[in-house]
Structure formats: structure tokens, C-alpha cells
Amino acid sequence: MLLLKGSFVSAFLLVISLIANVEAANGFSKRLVPPQTPATDPFYQAPAGYEFLAPGTVIRSRSFIPAGLGLIVDILSVRSYQVLFRTNGINNKPIVSVVTILSPLLAPNDRFVSFANEEDSSASICAPSYNYQFLAFPSNLLVQADLLVVQAYLLSGYTVSIPDHEGPDSAFAVGRLAGRVVLDSMRATQNFKDLGLKPNSMVAGVGYSGGAIAVGWAAQLQPTYAPEINIASFAIGGVPANLTGTFAFVDGTTFSGFLPPAIVGFQAESAYPELRQLVNRVATPAGQQALQFASTHCVVDDILSFAFQKVADKKFSSLGDRILYDPQVAGVLNDNLMGSNAFETPTKPILIYHASQDEIIPYANTSTLVDTYCNRGAAVHFTTYQAGGHLTTIVDGLPQTLQWVADGFAGKLKNNKGCQRDEKLDSPLDPVALGVELEPVLIGLINILAKLGEGDSNVQQNLHTLNQTATVPPLNKAAIASRQLH
């Protein structure tokens, strides 16, 4: 299946060089052409008249060779496709996006997992559809690391549908847009004839952090926007439920680099382009420089470049610490506040999990969202992880999420009513619970946990640790026992 191997850029370039030499010697060097970026690849471009198509309509498709860190993966056991489809932006403006589909050869044809990456960037080169192509430069390390999680679902036998949920303009953090793209990608996956899914196949929506924005909004919009989709369950973790709260929480910290790409994303053409005039008026030269950087770089570079700086500061904009009080800014943030409207309450079983010591997304905001859902009668299972931070909980929450997805497909969640709450005090990454077939994933995930440190402590001490999380060399199996697994 999908196995990440090698160290990062040096190994990537070394392998390309070695393969190129072999191919050139055999007269096949033309095969080693890296894929075009979304900005230049004609596949991503909308054809004339696309706006008259129904949301979720397949426009074009292609087979491709999936890869991690730019290196080829096993293509004998996985069918791989990319599909351009019609969807909607803010105010139902017609747009297109791409969904990447990976399907084990023996996958059941009555279900699939819709997985939303934490793309967390406002540059098109950061999209999963680009990063998962053979010989693509591995620009987004979070998306690359997500391949381990995707692999867990593939090894569990599921077809996995991975949308570019930020849309064609990389509108990071715009929940109302991302939710529509996720739902229309589910429609497109169902409509894609080459996949051979049965009509009305079951779908499980899964996302963490930036991916939780997309899937969380999909859960909220589904009853009115796409009620025909046969949702088995939703699962979201590390949920940025309140973007205003997240802004205030993270600004000026280690992770303040998430904010400039969000500002770029909100003023995208498919989102709220009316914000551009305000941003152009109030941003200082330093602010404009930070936004320009964010528009061409991915999340790890954004974090490294803007760490400990503040958006709510006169250095960034003339509004200084009053930026959140501007009526336009407050308006778009409120429009993307999860739980703000009663008619946008999820009607399908939803798992929500969050680390109580999350250093990036406020736990209190997610807890408030859960209370809101519960008061409206939603079927919610809320788990608090007491031992981890934001990044480590991506890994620690995987076993629970896998079980939730399986239970949903098995029909065990249909009768769920009301709210259930529990806590997990230690890491639940149990090799016995995951099963022997997921051992390669387990080893990779334990490597990531070791690099991140307890409660993300290593990252907070040295941000460059983020550059290593997707490139950790394999551990000896004995390393599994070195971590306390309960």
C-alpha cells in the first residue's frame, strides 16, 4: 500500500537523479517529468459552460500514480484516480475542484471514506491532489504525513476520497466553502462510473484541524445542501469551531503562522473577495509581505516564517488590536462560526474529539460547540484527550476514529441519540486494537509521536521538528513497546 520511505528533500532529489540516470540509459527519460502545478495544469481548469452543471457532476477524470514525498508507491493493489467536479463557493458561486480517489482492488462497492486533509495553506501547490502525484515536489508536509492516516483506511479495506476542500483558490479556513466542496466531492465520487460504486453508497466523513473545518461544515450543511447523500457518520478532531477564538488564542504564539494564510483564504475570489479592499487599505508593508509569502507557501513554511508575530498589531495593519472589531472582518468570521444557526445542526452521528491542552485550537470553543449541538438534539460522542497536544492528538485519535467509521458502516450508530462524553487519559495507540494489518501504519505513527514529543513539546521547543514528522526513518518493532500504550 502507501508506504512513506526515505528522508525528505535530499532523498527525493537523489532518487529522481538515480531513476533519471537509469531511464536515460534506456532511452525513457521523457517519462520522468514532474507533474504540472494546479496553477498551470489544464486538468484543473473549468471548461466553458461548467456553471450550468449540477453540483457534484464529474467534468473530467484521469488515472495517476499516487506517491508520498514524491516517491512512487504500490500501484498494484490500489486503483487511483483524480476527478474534476462542479461545486459551489460562498453565495453558491459556481466553481470547480478536484477529488483524489484511492481504492483497494477488493474494496466493497457500497461505502467509502471522505477524508479531508489539514491542508492549512493558501497556495494551490499545497493541495493534496498535487502533493499525492508521483514526482510532485512534496510542498505540504502535513498533507504528506496524512498519507499514514489514509493508509490506515486503505488497509482497512475502504475506498478513500480526498477532496481539495479549499477549492480552486485555496481558500483556507472558509468553512462554508469547504463544507460544500466536501459534500460535492462525495457526490462526484458516487457519480464516477469507473469506480463502480453502488447507488446510494454509504459515506463516512473524516477530518482533523483544518480538515475538521471542512468536514464539520459538511456535517452542518448536509441536511439542507445534500440531503440525498447516505451519510453513515462524521468524525472531526481538533476542531476550529470558532475562528475568532482561534485567532485570539494563537496570535503572537509559536503557531501564529496559521493566520496570514487564513486572511489570504478569506479574500479569495470564491470566498469573500470584498475583503480585498479592506486588506489592501489597512495592511502595512510588513503585513502585505506576510500575506504575499502565505499566498505562495505551505503551512510549515508559514509557521516558521511568522512564529511569535502578531496580526493584531500596528506592525501588521493600521487596525492593530482592533482588527477583529472591524464590521467586515467580524461579519465573515461570524458567517463561518460553527453552530451559529439551529438549522445547520448535524443530523447524522458525529464523533468530536479534542485535546484539553491543545496549544493551537482552544478546547473551550469545541466544548461550547458540543454543548450547542447537544442542546439541539444532535447525536454527538465527545471525547476529551487529556494527554496530548494538537498535533499528537491527530495520531492518538486514529484508533477511535477508525472504530467509529467501522461502527457507522455496520449500522451500529443509527440508533445513537443524545450526547455521550468520555475522556482518554493516555495514548490509546494500541497495536492489538489496530490489528496486525495496520502494523506498518502503527510504526510510522509512533515515529511521528516520538518526533512531536509529549503534548507537542518538541515542536514548541523547536519548530523545525515539523520538517521531520513526515520523514522519520522506520523504527525497530521493539520501539512500539517503548511507548506506553493503553
Catalytic residues: 209, 358, 390
d(CA 396, CA 411): 25
d(CA 419, CA 416): 9
Cβ burial, residue 200 (10 Å; 0-12/13-18/19+): exposed
CB 486 within 8 Å of CB 427 = yes
* Beta-carbon-side half-sphere exposure of residue 188 (alpha carbons within 13 Å): 34
**Which three cell numbers mark 199?**
447507488
Question: Please, which residues bridge with residue 87 across strands?
Answer: 95
**Which three cell numbers mark 151?**
493508509
User: Which of 431, 433, 451 lies closest to 442 in space, CA to CA?
Assistant: 431
Strand pairing report for 67-68 and 71-72: antiparallel
Q: Which amino acid is at 303?
A: I
Q: How far is CA 129 from the centre of its chain?
A: 12
Given the C-alpha cell 486588506, which residue does it identify? 279
Helix (H, G, I), strand (E, B) or coil at 98: strand
Phi then psi dihedrals of residue 361, to 5 deg: -115, 125
Helical (H) or strand (E) element with 203: strand 202-208
Q: Which amino acid is at 142?
A: L
Task: For residue 335, give Cα distances in angstroms to 22, 241, 319, 362.
Answer: 55, 12, 21, 19
Helix segments in 61-157, DSSP class H: 128-131, 141-155
Strand pairing report for 71-72 and 94-104: unpaired
User: Which of 16, 100, 70 lies closest to 470 in space, CA to CA?
Assistant: 70
User: Which of 289, 299, 181, 311 lies closest to 244 in space, CA to CA?
Assistant: 311
Helical (H) or strand (E) element with 443: helix 439-452
Q: Which amino acid is at 143?
A: V
User: Which of 129, 220, 144, 227 lies closest to 178 in space, CA to CA?
Assistant: 220
Helix (H, G, I), strand (E, B) or coil at 219: helix
Q: What angle do CA 480, 483, 484 make, to 5 degrees?
A: 120
